[in-house]
Amino acid sequence: MPKVTIDDIEIEVPDGTTILQAARMIGGEVVPPAMCYHSKLKTSGGYCRTCIVKVEKGSEKDPRPMPKPVPSCRTTVMDGMVVRNKTAPDIVEARAGIVEFLLINHPLDCPVCDQAGECDLQDLAYEHGKSHSRYDFQRRTFEKIDIGEHIKLHMTRCILCYRCVKTAEQITDGRVHGVIYRGDAAEISTYIQNVIDNDFSGNVIDVCPVGALTDRTFRFKSRVWFTKPVDAHRDCPKCSGQVRLWEKGGEVLRVTARKDKYGEVESFICNECRYDKKNASDWVIEGPSKVDRHSVIGANHYENSVLSATDDRQQTGLPHGKKVELGEGALNPNNIY
Amino acid sequence: MNVKIQFSEKALASVNEIIARYPADKKKSALIPVLHIAQAEFDGWLSAETMDYVASILEIKPIEVYEVASFYSMFNLKPVGKCLLEVCRTSSCWLMGAEDVVRFIENKLNIKEGETTADGKFTLKTVECLGACGYAPMLQVGDKFYEFLTLEKTEKIIDNLDSTGKRSTYNGWQTGKESEIIMNRVD
Amino acid sequence: MSKKLLLQHIDVPGINTYEVYRKQGGYKAVEKALKEMTADQILEEVKTSGLRGRGGAGFPTGMKWSFLAKPEGVARYLVCNADESEPGTFKDRYLMEKIPHLLIEGMIASSFALGANTAYIYIRGEYFYVHRILENAIKEAYANGWLGKNILGTGYDLDLYMQIGAGAYICGEETALLESLEGKRGNPRIKPPFPAVAGLWGRPTVVNNVETIAAVVPIINEGGANYANIGVGKSTGTKLISASGHINKPGVYEIELGLPVEEFIYSDQYCGGIRNGKELKAVVAGGSSVPILPKELILKTAAGEPRLMSYESLGDGGFQTGTMLGSGGFIVMDEDTSIVKNLYTFSRFYHHESCGQCSPCREGTGWMEKILKKIISGNGTLSDVDLLWDIQSKIEGKTICPLGEAAAWPVAAAIRHFRKEFEEYVTNPQNIVDVKHYYRVNNLAAV
Ligand SMILES: Cc1cc2nc3c(=O)[nH]c(=O)nc-3n(C[C@H](O)[C@H](O)[C@H](O)COP(=O)(O)O)c2cc1C
Ligand code: SF4
Ligand code: FES
Ligand code: FES
């Protein structure tokens, strides 16, 4: 079993482990952020570049450093490898650059976004980004569209992580959406008016790290932080039936898959569980979910950062680092503005 | 699927010849050449219907065709004028006056770059380096490269195209007999 | 007179036809390879020759071939990269147009050396008339028994097909090319695995440039050691240079590596000097992605040595004072050229050609283009120049494929060597805005 050292912490891991997985085994600060990788989706990762790390020593056999930063999600550990993440200032700087790239065309509409409070991009910007944007051109925008009766596509927010495409390809039995056009004109689309609909199509919502694909049956009903997540299950002939219910005052507002602390879906669920079982009586309640998100919900603060700008023209001069402490359940950026 | 369009016999023969170039389970590899044929067959652009038809021939999902067709700059997803005038705008051509060629065509045809003339005859497009840098400035019309352009030459080319009135799409897949092979580089 | 290995018969009338090509000694390398040599012997000759990839990266071809995995019972492929889309480069087109059988001959000998029974030539879609020439030449080769089953009675089978692209520079990147050949979007793959292990349809594949494959023919005919005697140091053999821009004689030239740059620019045998009696200002020596160098640094290295057309000499001084041989796309600019505007055409190109998979390239290339556009339209500020520098540094080395670097390097080099010009653009915009043709003398209307 190869041994790898990440930010001066050594760990022994099974053959074939990636640097990212090894870092997750160590846990804490050494774990690079990952926006496009999803361990349950084959060939995922490598696109967003947020997880890049520095390989100072390739392996015991070939100790040469790697010439460029590598995506930790797609790089396999070698015995004797020495990796730097947080402890390499150039990686920290490079990552801030990646975050900036991901944000220059992002609408920064967190206050009105369904995903706010459970958005990986929001967390990323808060933890790894800089306080203001240097981009002073018009942002790319797209019309919101409904793809089917359950899913809303808000392409403007998409970071092209390819997760939903891989989910549709690997989890469902007929992919009708994909990435069309190229470069910064690339978009997630069905191209012609087409409906994403089959038993497992709803999972594209859960794998989306931002608010580009959202559950139409939940939209505008409630902000995430007003709802209370509980884990529940039912005997489902199609899927594991292990879900997370988001409820408010005893009412089930939304059903999602359970996600781990890295935002990864633990097990994919079917559309029946997701959309058709909205009574508490449909479910065996296990208890409150342990939502272990690193920033927004867990730490109970909302960062007044570049991500919370409501206006595209409002680029600079946003105070950074102002933490707003709010009472439980009142974590609402709408209140800040 | 309700497919109404159909390749001509000649085109279909080419399509089948192309498919045979790949292992039997790798039909999808024929997609790009087949889209070229489709574009030449069906009015110089790829409608959703055309792409669905190609998908059915290659036994792939329609989205796989849309993804590919929208990636490559030679595929037109919207109708274009009969003659698509593509002027290279990259470094070497720019150094040699490509901007003047573009401006000249704009004035002559009374359209802006990216537009089509009212009579639907010409569409003007600027494109990236076409590998004619040493023969700059240059203009591609369908399968022809016009090189060492001057303004007079450009004018003649356009007038000529105007009078023949033929559609100038890339001419699909021309394997043809030797006698059919024509040099299409126009100096 | 410099030795020619690829283009020596280029002026023979009808050399594009099989008969004439054969009469000039064509297909001898295939005869020799298939009848007298083993695959390993050919590989050894290629290694001895010191041949380096002519597509841009300059990777030793023999080494690349020796990495090819050879699992039992799995087909392997040779794929020729004829995508040629790097601005300033048009040599592959020239070679395929004028002497297509040289490429086919190289494909056969190389496929035999690699143990491939199927090979593809992936050619960019826009080269329509070249498609026909190639298709025809392939037909002729089949008809004369150089392709197909049991070639020359040796038991060796080879099928060679042409595949066409459809307008995407990124398909020149070898893994994007393979994706495209599989009928997909031209998205570069994340490596490893490398094509030598898992390439076309997941099978071991070698991808080589047109010129690299053509060079295998003289290597087999004359021997690797003789090939290695030509050139200078680790830059062995000859190279096709595509010369364009403000010179008297643009075109494709075959040079012996090691030729002084000054001779290449000013000699009548090559570029014939700067047109209209102007002064040289700058050169992009190896295709749009390599760093631009001002006159002083392209003619002489920082140490004052004459700069030579070789991998090492052009690279001398690193990116501070040197550049790269790249694909050999040699773009010459005279004294009246706006370096900033030329850079804008490059940045617009890379923005247009980014596949969009990875965030630094997808977002960064467009951002750089926008800033440059702002600067050339007279609305830039000094901080825009610094921002441009910072953005290119944040793209470089962080992307999936080298298009990121290709987009970053020209920006870095232009600012490094011509910062004054950028500053003039932002501090004196009036000059530029008012006089549209301020930096352009190429006013065709006046000619
Ligand atoms: C963005 C990009 C574009 C490229 N374009 C070409 C090209 O048009 N032709 C080419 O031969 N190589 C091109 N290359 C280099 C290929 O990836 C590859 O290195 C080459 O085909 C290998 O052949 P060689 O070793 O014979 O040079 C490109 C590389 C990159 C990153
Ligand atoms: S660097 Fe650019 S072209 Fe290469 S994979 Fe990334 S987005 Fe695509
Ligand atoms: S998570 Fe590794 S590149 Fe996106
Ligand atoms: S720059 Fe115009 S053809 Fe190359």
Give the gap in angstroms from C-alpha B167 to the nearest C-alpha of chain A: 26
Residue C403 to residue C184: CA distance in whole angstroms: 19
Quick check: A134 contacting C, CB < 8 Å?
A: yes
Task: Give me the pLDDT at residue A332, please.
Answer: 31
Strand order in the sheet with A52-57: A9-12, A3-6, A81-84, A52-57, A70-71
Task: Give me the pLDDT at residue A293, please.
Answer: 53
Task: Give me the pLDDT at residue C432, please.
Answer: 62
Q: Are A336 and A304 a contacting pair, CB within 8 Å? A: yes
Ligand 1 centroid to residue C413 C-alpha, Å: 21
Q: Report how far Cα C280 is from the mean position of its chain's Cα atoms.
A: 23
If one compares B2 and C20, the residue with the highest pLDDT of the two is C20
Q: Are A130 and A178 a contacting pair, CB within 8 Å? A: no
Per the structure block, which two tokens stand in for C427? 């501090």
Quickly state the pLDDT bin for B169 (edges 50, 70, 90): low
Q: Is the CB of A45 under 6 A from ligand 3?
A: yes
- The single-letter code of the amino acid at A100 is E
Q: What is the pLDDT of residues B41-61, one digit of tens each?
A: 998 999 999 999 999 999 999
Average pLDDT for residues A251-268, to the nearest whole number? 92
Average pLDDT of chain A to the nearest whole number:
84
Please report, for chain C, how many H helices and E strands are present, in that order. 19, 14
Ligand positioned closest to the Cα atom of C87: 4
Give the gap in angstroms from C-alpha A46 to the nearest C-alpha of chain C: 7
Residue A10 to residue A22: CA distance in whole angstroms: 10
Residue A140 is given by DSSP the state: P
Q: What is the pLDDT of residues A148-179, one digit of tens each?
A: 889 999 999 999 999 999 999 999 888 999 99
The single residue listed with the structure tokens 């979007």 is C185
Residues 6+ apart with CB under 8 A from A325: A300, A301
Which of C356, C370, C394 faces A183 most closely, judged by CB atoms? C356
Residue C108 to residue C214: CA distance in whole angstroms: 10
Task: Give me the pLDDT at residue B167, please.
Answer: 78
Q: Are C383 and C424 a contacting pair, CB within 8 Å? A: no
* Residue of B37, B91, B141, B143 to mutate, testing the C interface (most C Cβ within 10 Å of its Cβ): B91
Residue B168 to residue C51: CA distance in whole angstroms: 42
Q: Are C368 and C280 a contacting pair, CB within 8 Å? A: no
Supply the Cα-derived Rg of chain A in whole angstroms: 20
Task: Output B20-24 pairs: Cβ under 8 A, ≥24 positions apart.
Answer: B21/C161, B21/C163, B23/C201
**Contact yes or no for A183 and C362 at CB 8 A:** yes
Quickly state the pLDDT bin for B67 (edges 50, 70, 90): very high
Q: What is the pLDDT of residues C64-77, one digit of tens each?
A: 999 999 999 999 99
Q: Is the CB of A257 under 6 A from ligand 3?
A: no
Residue C310 to residue C308: CA distance in whole angstroms: 6
Helix (H, G, I), strand (E, B) or coil at C224: helix
Quick check: C126 contacting A, CB < 8 Å?
A: no
**Contact yes or no for C360 and A105 at CB 8 A:** no
Task: Give me the pLDDT at residue A149, please.
Answer: 85
* Residue of C180, C185, C191, C363 to mutate, testing the A interface (most A Cβ within 10 Å of its Cβ): C363
The pairing of beta strand A228-233 with beta strand A242-248: antiparallel
Quick check: A101 contacting C, CB < 8 Å?
A: yes
Q: Report how far Cα C120 is from the mean position of its chain's Cα atoms.
A: 18
**Contact yes or no for B32 and C166 at CB 8 A:** yes
If one compares C332 and B182, the residue with the highest pLDDT of the two is C332
Q: What is the pLDDT of residues C259-278, one digit of tens each?
A: 999 999 999 999 999 999 99
Closest chain B CA to residue A183: B71
Reply yes or no: is the peptide bond before residue B137 cis, omega within 30 of 0: yes
Average pLDDT for residues C59-88, to the nearest whole number? 97
Q: Is the CB of B30 under 6 A from ligand 4?
A: no
Helix (H, G, I), strand (E, B) or coil at C194: coil
Average pLDDT for residues B3-13, to the nearest whole number? 87
Which residue ranges make up each domain of chain A? 3-101, 103-215, 224-335
**Contact yes or no for C128 and B143 at CB 8 A:** yes
Q: Are B29 and B14 a contacting pair, CB within 8 Å? A: no
Quick check: B96 contacting C, CB < 8 Å?
A: yes
Task: Give me the pLDDT at residue A325, please.
Answer: 31
Q: Is the CB of B83 under 6 A from ligand 4?
A: no
**What residues are paired with C239 via a beta bridge?**
C255
Quickly state the pLDDT bin for B186 (edges 50, 70, 90): low
Quick check: A100 contacting C, CB < 8 Å?
A: yes
If one compares A291 and C284, the residue with the highest pLDDT of the two is C284
Closest chain C CA to residue A183: C356
Task: Give me the pLDDT at residue A224, please.
Answer: 66
Average pLDDT for residues C325-337, to the nearest whole number? 95
Residue C263 to residue C34: CA distance in whole angstroms: 40
Q: What is the pLDDT of residues A282-329, one digit of tens each?
A: 999 998 887 665 444 433 334 434 444 333 333 323 333 333 332 233
Per the structure block, which two tokens stand in for C252? 């494709």
Residues 6+ apart with CB under 8 A from B7: B15, B37, B38, B41
Task: Give me the pLDDT at residue C164, please.
Answer: 95
**Contact yes or no for B100 and C443 at CB 8 A:** yes
Per the structure block, which two tokens stand in for B20? 């045979």
Q: Is the CB of A178 under 6 A from ligand 3?
A: no
Closest chain B CA to residue C164: B33
Q: Is the pLDDT score of A330 beyond 70?
A: no
Residue C82 to residue C161: CA distance in whole angstroms: 13
Q: Is the pLDDT score of B3 beyond 90?
A: no
Helix (H) or strand (E) holding C142: helix C128-143
Residue A290 to residue A230: CA distance in whole angstroms: 8
Helix (H, G, I), strand (E, B) or coil at A188: strand
Residue A46 alpha carbon, nearest atom of ligand 3:
3
Which range, of A51-60, A316-325, B116-125, C194-203, averages the lowest pLDDT? A316-325
Residue C88 alpha carbon, nearest atom of ligand 4:
4
Interface of C with A in 364-393 (CB under 8 A): 364-367, 370, 387
Task: Give me the pLDDT at residue A228, please.
Answer: 81
Reply yes or no: is the peptide bond before residue C193 cis, omega within 30 of 0: yes
Q: Which ranges of C239-396 would DSSP assign to H, the alpha helix?
A: 261-266, 295-299, 311-315, 318-321, 339-353, 359-376, 382-395
**Contact yes or no for B133 and C353 at CB 8 A:** no
Residue B162 to residue B121: CA distance in whole angstroms: 7
Which range, of A246-250, C197-201, C358-362, averages the lowest pLDDT? A246-250
Using a CB-CB cut-off of 8 Å, the residues of chain B touching C245 are 91-92, 95-96, 133
How many other CB atoms are found less than 10 A from the CB of residue A287? Answer: 8
Q: What is the pLDDT of residues C114-163, one digit of tens each?
A: 999 999 999 999 998 899 899 999 999 999 999 999 999 999 999 999 99
**What residues are paired with C282 via a beta bridge?**
C294, C333
Distances (CA, A) of C364 to C82, C333, C385, C392, C410: 28, 27, 15, 8, 14
Task: Give me the pLDDT at residue C447, please.
Answer: 30
Average pLDDT for residues C54-72, to the nearest whole number? 96
Per the structure block, which two tokens stand in for A151? 């899913």
Q: Are B35 and B173 a contacting pair, CB within 8 Å? A: no
Residue B160 to residue A25: CA distance in whole angstroms: 70
Give the gap in angstroms from C-alpha C168 to the nearest C-alpha of chain A: 10
Residues in chain C, overall count:
447
Which of A68, A104, A137 faces C397 most closely, judged by CB atoms? A68
Residue C397 to residue A240: CA distance in whole angstroms: 42
**Contact yes or no for A185 and C365 at CB 8 A:** no
Task: Give me the pLDDT at residue A271, please.
Answer: 94
Please report how the helices C91-98 and C210-222 are oriented relative to each other, as an axis angle in degrees rounded to 10: 60
Task: Give me the pLDDT at residue B149, please.
Answer: 93
Q: Are C219 and C206 a contacting pair, CB within 8 Å? A: no
Using a CB-CB cut-off of 8 Å, the residues of chain C touching B136 are 244, 250
Residues 6+ apart with CB under 8 A from B19: B27, B30, B34, B58
Residue B137 alpha carbon, nearest atom of ligand 4:
2
**Contact yes or no for A181 and B70 at CB 8 A:** yes
Task: Give me the pLDDT at residue A225, please.
Answer: 66
Give the gap in angstroms from C-alpha A180 to the nearest C-alpha of chain C: 9
Residue A228 to residue A329: CA distance in whole angstroms: 9
Q: Is the pLDDT score of C372 beyond 90?
A: yes
Quickly state the pLDDT bin for B178 (edges 50, 70, 90): very low
Q: Is the pLDDT score of B139 beyond 50?
A: yes
Ligand 3 centroid to residue A319 C-alpha, Å: 29
Closest chain B CA to residue C247: B134
Spelled out in words, what is the top-level CATH class assigned to the domain A103-215?
Answer: alpha beta
Residue A98 to residue A92: CA distance in whole angstroms: 10
Interface of B with A in 67-126 (CB under 8 A): 67, 70-71
Backbone φ, ψ for residue C229 (5° rounding): -70, -20
Task: Give me the pLDDT at residue B170, please.
Answer: 66
Using a pLDDT cut of 70, give the percent of chain C over it: 96
Quickly state the pLDDT bin for B2 (edges 50, 70, 90): low
Q: Is the pLDDT score of A197 beyond 50?
A: yes
**Nearest residue to A245 via CA among A257, A236, A263:** A257
Task: Give me the pLDDT at residue A331, please.
Answer: 31
Residues in chain B, overall count:
187
Residue B69 to residue B38: CA distance in whole angstroms: 11
pTM for this model (two decimals): 0.93
Closest chain C CA to residue A159: C359
Q: Is the pLDDT score of C39 beyond 80?
A: yes
Ligand positioned closest to the Cα atom of C175: 1
**Contact yes or no for B143 and C250 at CB 8 A:** no
Q: Is the pLDDT score of C293 beyond 80?
A: yes
Task: Give me the pLDDT at residue C429, please.
Answer: 75
Residue C115 is given by DSSP the state: T
Q: Is the CB of C239 under 6 A from ligand 1?
A: no
Q: Is the CB of B130 under 6 A from ligand 4?
A: yes
**Contact yes or no for B95 and C243 at CB 8 A:** no
Using a CB-CB cut-off of 8 Å, the residues of chain B touching A189 are 66
Which of B48, B61, B71 faces A175 most closely, judged by CB atoms? B61
Quick check: A68 contacting C, CB < 8 Å?
A: yes
Task: Give me the pLDDT at residue A336, please.
Answer: 28
Q: What is the pLDDT of residues C170-195, one digit of tens each?
A: 999 999 999 999 999 999 999 999 99
Average pLDDT of chain C to the nearest whole number:
94
Give the gap in angstroms from C-alpha A194 to the nearest C-alpha of chain C: 21
Q: Is the pLDDT score of A114 beyond 90?
A: no
Mutate to test the pocket of ligand 4, among B100, B129, B146 (most ligand atoms within 8 A of CB): B129
**Contact yes or no for B48 and A179 at CB 8 A:** no
Using a CB-CB cut-off of 8 Å, the residues of chain C touching B140 are 126
Q: Could you write out the three-class secondary structure of chain B?
A: CCCCCCCCHHHHHHHHHHHCCCCHHHHHHHHHHHHHHHHHHCCCCCCHHHHHHHHHHHCCCHHHHHHHHCCCCCCCCCCCCCEEEEEECCHHHHHCCHHHHHHHHHHHHCCCCCCECCCCCEEEEEECCCCCHHHCCCEEECCEEECCCCHHHHHHHHHHHHHHCCCCCCCCCCCCCHHHCCCCEEC
Residues in chain A, overall count:
337
Residue C175 alpha carbon, nearest atom of ligand 1:
17
Q: Is the pLDDT score of A51 beyond 80?
A: yes
Per the structure block, which two tokens stand in for B103? 């401006």
Using a pLDDT cut of 90, give the percent of chain C over it: 92
Task: Give me the pLDDT at residue A250, please.
Answer: 79
Average pLDDT for residues A246-268, to the nearest whole number? 90
**What residues are paired with A214 via a beta bridge?**
A152
The reply to whether CATH 3.10.20.740 applies to domain A3-101 is yes
Q: Is the pLDDT score of B79 beyond 70?
A: yes
The single residue listed with the structure tokens 């045979």 is B20
Q: Whose CA is nearest to atom 1 of ligand 1?
A: C403
Task: Give me the pLDDT at residue C252, please.
Answer: 97
Per the structure block, which two tokens stand in for A87? 């402890």
Please report how the helices C91-98 and C128-143 are oriented relative to each other, as an axis angle in degrees rounded to 10: 40
